[in-house]
Amino acid sequence: MASPGHNLVVLLLFFVSFPCSNSKLSVDYYSKTCPQFASIMEQIVSDKQIASPTTAAGVLRLFFHDCMVEGCDGSLLITSTSFNRAERDAEIDQSIPGDAFDLVTRAKTALELQCPGVVSCSDILATAARNLVTMVGGPYYRVRLGRKDGLVSNASLVQGNIAQPTMPLSDIISLFDSKGFSVQEMVALVGAHTIGFSHCKEFSHRLFNFSKTSKTDPAYYPKYAEGLMKLCANYTKDPTMSAYNDVMTPGKFDNMYYKNLQRGLGLLATDQALSVDRRTKPFVDLYAANETAFFEAFAHSMEKVSIYKIKKGKIGRGEAQV
């Protein structure tokens, strides 16, 4: 039986030959060609999130990782072949939950039945990410549509385009800056860690033999560190062991992530660094104190991410970009 990922790439490649009559991005891009787009997406996303509550965080991560490598073109959805190792098999992408890919497959299948060869996978992913953020309590923001799917996906392109959990903060700031995002936008986007989880291997260096003078990272709140040590005690034997990014309200999109950073409850080293670095601390403090300010900044930044190096015109790599 074919896997969901295999089915998705077959769909994507099969419909590459369909031209699109309109190359301008707009929120009502499918109003004439697929008027059921919004209602189908709403139903598919709602059903999936209710059945699998971790879907929201997974799709948000899938969307962001896709956009940061060669733009928002759905290339992270393409599966590897015997002659090409695709993006989704890069080490940092291997931990993206299968539920995220499954949602896109379900939505694409439903939309193909109603509007064959019309809706791109990259538009599905961008819309699903927005709908899920809203569904779990986060802000609504507009998603302009009309993206075209890329046909090239190579794992070698991932390195250096996505922040790693052990990267120095200065490197992360430089990475975002190279893509046109300010420090404030970066801090707002990292607020997506208010939902989801991270595997123990991504923060184990903070828990075991941290330094000659401290077994754990002293930046951790002591009781929190104790709990994480117990949780991750056997992580080398079971690599799937993980912890919520936001220990207080893990399933709700809110500003608790920033409040946690102020209390020594930042799970990843890169998270905790935001609360002490002079370049990022003012924004952490702002968003911790004012959820409305966080929501507005996050919505603005996500709109900006959603059109990063997108492809338009005919479906496929190498077309005009905005």
> Of 2, 31, 23, which Cα lies nearest the Cα of 109?
2
pLDDT score for 23: 55
List the catalytic residue out of 65, 199, 205, 300.
65
Would you call 65 a catalytic residue per the annotation? yes
In 3-state terms the chain splits into helix, strand, coil percentages (rounded to 5) of 50, 5, 45
pLDDT score for 315: 45
pLDDT score for 313: 63
Task: Classify residue 291 as exposed, middle or buried by CB count within 10 Å of its CB (0-12, 13-18, 19+).
Answer: middle
Please tell me whether residue 34 adopts helix, strand or coil conformation. Answer: coil
Report long-range pairs for 280-285 (Cβ below 8 Å, ≥24 apart): 280/169, 280/173, 280/183, 280/186, 280/187, 283/183, 283/184, 283/187, 283/188, 284/187, 284/258, 285/258
Question: Has 300 been labeled as part of a binding site?
Answer: no
Question: Has 6 been labeled as part of a binding site?
Answer: no
pLDDT score for 21: 34
125 vs 4: CA distance, rounded Å: 15
Question: Has 205 been labeled as part of a binding site?
Answer: no
Question: Has 89 been labeled as part of a binding site?
Answer: no
Question: Has 171 been labeled as part of a binding site?
Answer: no
pLDDT score for 246: 97
Question: Has 87 been labeled as part of a binding site?
Answer: yes
Question: Has 177 been labeled as part of a binding site?
Answer: no
pLDDT score for 166: 87
pLDDT, tens digit, for every residue of 77-102?
Answer: 999 999 999 999 999 999 899 999 99
pLDDT, tens digit, for every residue of 249-296?
Answer: 999 999 999 999 999 999 999 999 999 999 999 999 999 999 999 999
Question: Has 191 been labeled as part of a binding site?
Answer: no
Please identify every stretch of the chain with a pLDDT value under 50, giving residue numbers as ranges: 1-22, 315-322
Question: Has 123 been labeled as part of a binding site?
Answer: no
The tokens 């999109």 sit on which residue? 253
Q: Could you tell me how many residues make up the chain?
A: 322
pLDDT score for 185: 98
Report long-range pairs for 107-113 (Cβ below 8 Å, ≥24 apart): 107/40, 107/41, 107/44, 107/45, 108/8, 108/11, 108/12, 109/7, 109/11, 110/40, 110/44, 111/34, 111/36, 111/37, 111/40, 111/41, 112/11, 112/15
Q: Cβ contacts of residue 237 below 8 Å, gap of 6+?
A: none
